Amino acid sequence: MKTFKTVAVVTAVSLLGTALVGCSSEEKKEETANWTGKITIWDGPRWKDDKENKYHWLEKVAADFEKSHQGVDVEIVQVPWAELNDKLGVSLAGKKLPDIAPVDISGNGVNPMFIKQKAVEPLDAYFTAEEKKDFYPNALEAYTTDGKMYGVPAAMTVHSLLLNLDIFRERNVEPPKDGLWTWDEFTEKMKKLTYDKNGDGTTDVYGFSTYIKNGYYEAWPFLYMNGGRPLSDDASKFTFDAPEALSAMKDLADLKTSAKVAPKEMGSGDVGGTWKAFANGKTVAVEPWATWAISAAQGAKMNFMVASYPSKDGKPVTIGGVGGWTMFHQEEEGKKKVLADLLKELTSTENQVLSAKSYGTFPSRLSAMEQDPFAENVQMQQAQKLTEYAVMVPRHENWKKIDEAIQQQLQLVLNGEKTPEAAMKEAKSKVDGLLK
């Protein structure tokens, strides 16, 4: 009797379970196919239209998406780029994340901390192997962790030197042939470009300047010049205290402290001031910038060219970045599918070509690059050549802290307050604890 009862109960439960599973998978299919509701997407300002609207591109993408996905409402939240990461941090703390948000072009792919906290969705289920093949491997790599794809790369950037050709001409200095130069040529030209313009006995125009700030890498390719790198290849050891890195640091600091070809402000964290000195004040002849600056300088009608970072062995090196989009944690399968569709739209070949032409970024898709978006843009073509020399900053869970420990000390080196050896010893003492 007891046995019969047990069998009956188990059978009943099994049948009920089967019915429920069947029911839920049926519902899931239905829900996936017909999800409707609101999508929240954040974005920073991009290129402007004739009405000075810097969100027109996303607004159009959203409007088209709403047309093709009846019942889906896309809400755009405008966030200044400088505030994006902090705002995401606040939202994470409050567990009120957007559905989709961009990764800044100067970034290094998806933030590992977001993956660790399970705040971003893996997207492998929505991208076929064929679709993934269209992305440059290094771009896709920046959004891949433990073999899973946690975002879609949309654009790439590379750091390069921008040269004010008016100052070169004024000082009768020949720009580097094909944008390539050695360290010795570079320093020689910087000396010639540094001068007292108004004859009052003080220097008004400097050859070179840059800034040092957490999360920004304009100055770093100089430190890579002799083969130095911040971390070992497997990101387990601090290596910026190696002789190759220290000698490059000294070379960079000497531009200001010994050669006096850089202003006193070089090495401060003043991004805006550094740009203004180059683009508005025209008091600096050469500055390193990410590729967004090319389009900004073109907009400012500057007479300039793009060059590589100087090298010691004829092989320049630079640092690249990969911008993109991530999908944040979702409960509904149907919504995930719709969001993945929107991610595909945002990063489509057509949109990447448009961004390349209007926003000064390199496509992350091969199919977009094949359309030759820089056919009529000499400066971007030159910058594009530098992509083959680009390396990415290391990817590590604690990279932001590691970066800060290094950048703080670099500021002191460029200020002449510390020797590279002492500075990197201090950085190492902090970084070693973060690598464990």
Partner 1 sequence: MKASNGLLKEMWKQRAAYLFLLPKLILFVLFILIPVFWAFLIAFQEYGYSGSEWVGFKNFMTTFTSSTFHVALLNTLKYTVFTVPVTIFLALGLATLIYPLGKWSQSFFRGAFYLPTVTSMVIIAMVWRWVYNYRFGLFNYFLDFLGIPPQDWLNQSDTALWALIIMSVLIPPGVGVIMYLAAMGSIPETLYESAKIDGANAFQRWWRITVPLLKPTTLYLMMLSLIGSFQVFIQVILMTGGGPGDATETIVHLIYKTAFRDLEFGLASAQAVVLFIITLIFGVVQYRIMYRKGEE
Show contacts of 22-26: CB within 8 Å, 24+ apart.
none
Nearer residue to partner 1 within complex by CB, 268 or 318: 268
**Closer to partner 1 by Cβ: residue 56 or 401:** 401
Task: Closer to partner 1 by CB, 214 or 348: give it.
Answer: 214
3-class SS at 273?
A: helix
Q: Which of residues 58-97 bind partner 1 (CB under 8 A)?
A: 85-86, 89-90, 92-93, 95, 97
* The residue type at 267: G
Q: What is the DSSP letter of 331?
A: S
Burial class (CB in 10 A: 0-12, 13-18, 19+), 63: exposed
Question: Among 108, 268, 347, 361, which residue interacts with partner 1 (rule: CB under 8 A)?
Answer: 268
Rounded to a whole number of angstroms, the CA Rg of the chain reads: 26
Q: Using the rule CB under 8 A, is 263 a contact of partner 1?
A: yes
Task: Supply the angle between the helices 333-346 and 56-68 in degrees, to the nearest 10.
Answer: 130
Question: Residues binding partner 1: what is the number (CB under 8 A)?
Answer: 35
What type of residue is 193? L
Which string of x and - marks every residue 401-430 that binds partner 1 (by CB under 8 A)?
x--x---xx-xx--x-x------------x
Single out the segment in contact with partner 1 by CB under 8 A; choices: 44-52, 131-139, 266-274, 316-324. 266-274
Contacting partner 1 within 105-124 (CB under 8 A): 113-114, 116-119
Comparing CB distances to partner 1, the nearer of 45 and 269 is: 269
Q: How many CA atoms are closer than 13 Å to the CA of 76, on its beta-carbon side?
A: 18
The piece of 44-52, 149-157, 160-168, 269-277 that touches partner 1 (CB under 8 A) is: 269-277
Strands (E) located in 165-269: 206-208
d(CA 360, CA 383): 10
Smaller CB distance to partner 1: residue 68 or 198? 198
Residue carrying structure tokens 């060219």: 305
Q: Which is it for the CA torsion 282, 285, 290, 295, positive or negative?
A: positive
Which of the 8 DSSP states describes residue 174?
P
C-beta closer to partner 1: residue 241 or 404: 404
Helix axis angle for 420-435 and 399-414, nearest 10°, is: 170
* Nearest Cα to Cα of residue 403 among 265, 218, 271, 230: 230
State the minimum distance, in angstroms, from the CB of residue 90 to partner 1: 6
- Member of 267, 288, 334, 363 binding partner 1 (CB under 8 A): 267
Given a contact cutoff of 8 angstroms between Cβ atoms, the answer to whether 306 and 78 are in contact is no
Q: At its nearest, how many Å lie between partner 1 and the CB of residue 284? A: 12
Report the site for partner 1 in 300-319 (rule: CB under 8 A). Answer: none
> For the window 209-248, what string marks contact with partner 1 as x by the rule CB under 8 A?
----xx----------------------------------
Q: Which is nearer to partner 1, 97 or 105 (CB)?
A: 97
3-state secondary structure of 221: helix
* DSSP 8-state assignment for residue 195: B
Query: Which residues, 313 to 352, sit near partner 1 by CB under 8 A?
Result: 329
Contact positions vs partner 1 (CB under 8 A): 85-86, 89-90, 92-93, 95, 97, 113-114, 116-119, 213-214, 263-265, 267-270, 273, 329, 400-401, 404, 408-409, 411-412, 415, 417, 430
